[in-house]
A = this chain, B = another copy of it.
Amino acid sequence: MTSLSEVYRAYIACLNRRDWEHLGDYVAEDVQHNGRNFGLSGYRDMLVNDFEQIPDLEFRIGLLVCEPPFVAARLDFDCSPKSAFLGLAVNGRRISFPENVFYEFRNDKIMSVWSVIDKVTVEAQLAT
């Protein structure tokens, strides 16, 4: 038996490998993201686009809190979006920011995601 934390860490490794063939091992067909019905294909499109816009994107887990069927993670990003990010003209600058995100799992697959990215921190870095 694999713990839900281990499932989550395997999901993050899948993202970092850009292993889209296996995304469906971790994400449900009817996945929701911030209340929207993305579905697995829409979720994959979002991730493919993220890696296209941010070529050096890497998901790193800063904090992981697990109480099945929920996982909460604080993800630490350190990357260089090519153009705009969150509506901000980053244009290749290297920025560091966290994302605090909740997941609800069903049968070891993500069925809902509630994500908040720290835009205020990005704005502060661009202002320097």
Interface, chain A (partner B; CB < 8 A): 62-63, 65-67, 70-72, 74, 86-87, 98-102, 114-120, 123
Q: Which of A74, A100, A101 has the most CB of B within 10 A?
A: A100
Q: Is the CB of B114 within 8 A of A100?
A: yes
Chain A interface secondary structure, helix, strand, loop or mixed?
strand
Write out the residue numbers on chain B whose beta carbons fall within 8 Å of the beta carbon of A74.
102, 114
**Can you give 26 A-B contacts (C-beta < 8 A)?**
A62-B114, A63-B72, A65-B70, A65-B71, A65-B72, A65-B102, A66-B67, A72-B100, A72-B102, A74-B102, A74-B114, A86-B120, A87-B120, A87-B123, A98-B114, A99-B116, A100-B101, A100-B102, A100-B114, A100-B116, A116-B116, A116-B117, A116-B118, A117-B120, A119-B119, A119-B120
Q: Is the CB of B116 within 8 A of A98?
A: yes
